Chains A and B, each alone.
Chain A
Amino acid sequence: MMNVRGCSGVAALLGSMIATAGAQPKPASGEWQSYGGDKGFTRYSPLAQINRDNVKNLRVVWHRPAVDPLIMDKFPDLSPSNYFRGTPVFINGVLYAPNGVGLVEAFDAATGQTLWVQQPVEPTLKEAAGQSTRGVAYWRKDTDERLVSIRRDYLYALDAKTGKPCRDFGENGRVWLNRHTPDEAGYFGYPGPFVVNDVIVVGGNGGGKSGEGYGDDGFEGRAKPEDIRGYDIHTGRLLWTFHVLPHKGEPGYETWGKGSADYVGNMAAWASMTADEQLGYVYVPLSAPTVSYYGGHRPGENLYSDSLVVLNAKTGKLVWYFQMVHHDLWDYDSATPPILGEINVDGKWIKAVIASNKTGFLYVFDRATGKPVWPIEERPVPQSDTPGEETWPTQPFPTKPPAFDRQGFTEDDLIDFTPELHRKALEIAGHYRLGPLFTPPSLMTTGADAKKGTLALPSAWGSGNWNTGAFDPETGMYYAVSMTQATAYGLAKATDPKATVAYWIPFESAPRQAESNRPRRTLLPGEVEDYDYDESGGFRVNGLPLMKPPYGRITALDLNQGTKVWMVPNGDGPRNHPLLKDLNLPPLGNIGRPVALLTKTLLFLGDASNALYGHAGIAGPAKFRAYDKATGEVIWQTDLLVGTTGGPMTYMAGGKQFIVVPIGGKGYGGGWIALGLPE
């Protein structure tokens, strides 16, 4: 066979390769082929050199800065964000990852030494500047090896051997992804691209600014649907577009009342997709519509918001779907990679897809047919009394497995370590409506029985998120990583002349970060800041969470049985707080979004970075821990300079097992550390 050097081969050669295309080669043993470990995002490796007996000897064997000096030396004013997301993939002895500004770097897996760094298309600060993404996608056929990445508004294809652009891909190696919104919003593809056989599938945000800043709040109901797109791996040509909001004439259009289908948008896949390449299916988790907290302008179920949609990756055609939240009013995105694994239920092997969202439920299906493994029941839920709102009467409740985090808010959930803390918590909670899961947002009112809205658990940040989930294919165990944090949904009339929806959550109703601009006091070692809220908007009482712990947890679920096996807090949490330190409390759990890594016998999990959450709930230095995955027992832990900002991964290089994890934090920046055993 003719040797095709990287992606510099001519189109004719590529054409012949398409004609002879077979199945993707099986990954070599020990490869970490996607940043979730494999195309099913199990975050699992069978490696066992590092085990419960020697894990205590792990040490940092190399580290790399978030951006290679080859770039920093050229652009000294580059300052990558602390939120350094990139988890490497490992292919044939080489690690590939997006760096702190989103350029791809290749480095030696044994030493961490640079092999190549993607160069900006122009030697300017403007072109060098950017954000990190969670990972790159790798593709190979014969000797053609490509890395596919998303950076700012572009999809890139690079030669994996050199880091040079594949000139036959798009325009000089890249394709413009911008969604062309009326407010000229940028495109954001932090999950990176996903490759299924010869198709690059792209989700990502960029549907609009919602009127006031990016995100899910605001009073602007008009946006672009964040459609899913498929591109040819060889040429970058757009192959298909899946409408996350059905067009007129397509099934599902009728689920958008009052003509909202013609102008509402968002609903991105902003967690990674997964794929079964034998079936040729890609599993796409979708998020909430515009705007997330009020839906009076969009009556109906609102397909395909908050759904798992399963597409034929070659054609983009819908195979099956399941909507996890109807007519979302809470921003309960399906923000979790739909993990693929085989389970054995009642003696029958099932190739399953394990979906989740911010509610703390797992939704388990036969991944070929969409049939739920255990019944999912539509149950009545509380209804809204906000003018114009038409709450959907029911929501889906999985009967198995049990939810992996707390749902709904009652006074029994309030912190009660001391009578004074409980009194203050009751006082705060008394200003809000409380209720079970799916209690809708409510109006802020005045008068004798004034309320500030609905106090909800989970919050819009979710108990589960992109970080949640790891699956052990040998045991059928699923490990949910989640946090417990309340939020307020307090609606007010949108009186701004630019508003296009009737109600919104004004920023003034949320706990404010800058209100903590008050004289500083000396903190004890390990003590948390005395905020009335944390940096993600969660409520606090004397710097402590409003609710009972744990605030961050790991839950082991047996998916052969649909049962919970164990739950442990992840980290000490605020147990050294002055009000608690004499109570001899057990670990309370740290909030945040850390990512698990499963190996043959261990579960590795760090503390989350303060880049997103400040120090809320985390006592002392951030740690990286090894748990016995059978029991949840902490076997080993070590201090990190700062918390983790992406997922850990593992591989063998030179006969030695390594664990690499991205870290980042305030006053530090970001970088990768590699842990290994001594020689």
Chain B
Amino acid sequence: MIRRIAPVAALLFVGVIACAFAEQAGLYSEPQAKNGQSIYHQMCGNCHRDDLAGGEHAPALKGDPFWQEWDQQKARLLYRRIISTMPLEDPGSLAEKDVIDIVAYLLKENGLPSGSKAIESANQLNNITLERPK
């Protein structure tokens, strides 16, 4: 759906995007995403599939379906969704670090760049706005 924005609001919007890009540069580390991939395959891949393509009863977590939901959303919300609804048979059971690493893996798979520092705590995700790469 197209976002209709007034000119002034558009300028603000551009500013937000610039800020979001700056925040997202190097948000997570490669080892962190790799660990997240491992946990994902163990805990999530059965339903969402190892290639994140989604299954009969689980949405895809890559590409358009992912960005439909998470574009312009705070990264903490993605963390919250995972830790409080997944895995389906035991929601709330994953450790904070494991969920952060899964978030890192999803960001990597959806085209956001890695950096040298890992995400250390869920609080670091509070002010990060996810933005789909152009």
With both beta carbons as reference points, the residue of chain A lying nearest to B96 in the complex is identified as A77
Q: Which of B51, B54, B92 has the most CB of A within 10 A?
A: B92
Which B16-46 residues have a C-beta within 8 angstroms of A?
Answer: 46
Bound Cα distance from A512 to B83, whole angstroms: 26
Q: Which of A91-99, A209-217, A423-431, A552-560 contacts B (4 or more CB under 8 A)?
A: A209-217
Stretch of A108-116, A125-133, A277-285, A311-319 at the chain-chain interface: A125-133
* Residue interface bits A160-195, CB-to-B below 8 A is 1, else 0: 000000000000000000000000111110000000
User: What CA separation (Å) do A514 and B67 show in the bound complex?
Assistant: 11
Contact B47 A214 (CB under 8 A): yes
A510 to B84, CA, bound (A): 29
Task: Tell me the bound Cα distance from A213 to B38 in angstroms.
Answer: 17
Q: Is the CB of A216 within 8 A of B46?
A: no
Residues of A contacting B118 in the complex (Cβ-Cβ under 8 angstroms):
none
| B119 on interface, CB distance cutoff 8 Å | no
Q: Is the CB of B84 within 8 A of A78?
A: yes
Docked pose: A415 CA to B2 CA in angstroms: 27
A537 part of interface (Cβ distance < 8 Å): yes
Given A514-B65, A523-B2, A525-B2, A79–B57 Cβ distance below 8 Å? no
A131 to B63, CA, bound (A): 25
A126 touches B55 (CB 8 A): no
Shortest CB distance A519–B (Å): 8
CB pair B92 A125 closer than 8 Å: yes
| B15 close to A (CB within 8 Å) | no
Q: Judge if A124 is at the interface, Cβ distance under 8 Å.
A: yes
Nearest-neighbor residue (CB-CB) of B46 within chain A: A213
Q: Does A565 contact B (CB under 8 A)?
A: no
A184 to B55, alpha carbons, bound, how many Å? 20
Residues of B within 8 A of A188 (CB): 88-89
- B71-103 to A contact mask, C-beta < 8 Å, 1/0: 001000101110111001111110000000000
Kindly state the separation between the CA atoms of A397 and B64 in the bound complex, as whole angstroms.
Answer: 41
From B1, B56, B61, B68, residue with most partner A Cβ within 10 Å: B56
Chain A residues near B122: list those with CB within 8 A.
77
CB atoms of B2 and A537 under 8 A apart:
no
Pairwise interchain contact A125-B83, C-beta atoms closer than 8 A: yes
Judging by beta carbons under 8 Å apart, are A101 and B62 in contact? no
Residue of B49, B81, B92 touching A127 (CB-CB under 8 A):
B92
Main secondary structure of the interface of B (DSSP, over half): loop
Specify which chain B residues have a CB less than 8 angstroms from the CB of A537 in the assembled complex.
Answer: 56
**A655, CB-defined interface residue at 8 Å:** no
Please tell me if A509 contacts chain B, counting CB pairs below 8 Å.
no
Give the one of A513, A523, A531 with max B CB within 10 A: A513
Contact B65 A186 (CB under 8 A): no
Decide yes or no whether A515 CB sits under 8 A from chain B.
yes
Are A77 and B64 in contact, CB atoms less than 8 angstroms apart?
Answer: no
Question: A522 at the A/B interface (Cβ < 8 Å)?
Answer: yes
For the complex formed, measure the closest distance between the CB of B132 and the CB atoms of chain A, giving whole angstroms. Answer: 7
When the two chains form the complex, which single residue of B54, B79, B85, B88 contacts A535, counting CB atoms closer than 8 Å?
Answer: B54
CA distance A512 to B53 in the complex (A): 6
Q: A42 near B: Cβ within 8 Å?
A: no
Whether, in the assembled complex, B10 has its beta carbon less than 8 Å from a beta carbon of chain A, the answer is: no
A:496-510 near B, CB below 8 Å = 507, 510
Would A80 and B85 count as touching, CB distance under 8 A? yes
Query: B65: which of A187, A214, A535 is its contact (CB, 8 Å)?
Result: A535
Q: B116 → chain A, closest Cβ, in Å? A: 26
For B, the interface residue count at a CB cutoff of 8 angstroms equals 40
Closest residue of A by beta carbon distance from B55 = A213
Q: How far is the CA of A285 from the CA of B102 in the complex (A)?
A: 38
Would B89 and A185 count as touching, CB distance under 8 A? yes
Q: Tell which of A215, A525, A610, A614 touches B56, judged by Cβ atoms closer than 8 Å.
A: A215
Q: Give the chain A neighbours of B64 by CB distance below 8 A.
A: 516-517, 520, 529, 531
Instruction: Give Cα distance in the complex from A518 to B132, angstroms.
Output: 12
User: Are A520 and B69 in touch, CB under 8 angstroms?
Assistant: no
Residues of B near A523 (CB, < 8 A) are 1-2
A525 with B85: in contact, given A131-B91, A215-B55, A514-B53 (CB under 8 Å)? no
Smallest Cβ-Cβ distance to B111: which chain A residue: A517
Q: Is A81 an interface residue (CB 8 A)?
A: yes
Q: Which of A209, A514, A666 contacts B52 (CB 8 A)?
A: A514
Q: A186 — nearest CB in chain B belongs to which residue?
A: B89
For the complex formed, measure the closest distance between the CB of B52 and the CB atoms of chain A, giving whole angstroms.
Answer: 6
Q: Is the CB of B85 within 8 A of A131?
A: yes
B55 touches A535 (CB 8 A): no
- The docked-state distance in angstroms from the alpha carbon of A186 to that of B85 is 13
Cα distance, A127 to B90, chains bound together (Å): 10
How far does the Cβ of A626 sit from chain B's closest Cβ, in whole Å? Answer: 25
Q: Does A524 contact B (CB under 8 A)?
A: yes
Distance A53 CA – B57 CA, assembled complex (angstroms): 42
Confirm or deny: B59 has a beta carbon within 8 angstroms of a beta carbon on chain A: yes
CA distance A610 to B49 in the complex (A): 21
Residues of B within 8 A of A213 (CB): 46-47, 49, 55-58
A79 and B77: CB pair below 8 A?
A: yes
Structural contact, A524 and B2, CB atoms closer than 8 A = yes
| Across-interface contacts of A101 in B (CB, < 8 A) | 84
Shortest distance between the CB of A52 and any CB in chain B (Å) = 31
Q: Which residues of A contact B84 (CB under 8 A)?
A: 75, 77-80, 101, 125, 128-129
Give A537 to B55 CA distance when docked, in angstroms: 9
Which residues of A are found within 8 Å of B80, using beta-carbon distances? 77-79
Distance of A513 Cα from B93 Cα, bound (Å)? 27
Q: List 11 A-B contacts (CB under 8 A).
A: A77-B79, A80-B84, A125-B92, A129-B85, A130-B92, A215-B57, A507-B49, A512-B60, A514-B51, A514-B54, A523-B1
Which residues of B pack against A, CB within 8 Å? 1-2, 46-47, 49, 51-65, 67-69, 73, 77, 79-81, 83-85, 88-93, 110, 122, 132
Q: A77-B122, A126-B91 are in contact. List 14 more A-B contacts (CB 8 A).
A: A78-B84, A81-B81, A81-B85, A126-B92, A126-B93, A127-B92, A128-B92, A184-B89, A212-B46, A510-B56, A512-B53, A513-B54, A514-B54, A517-B64
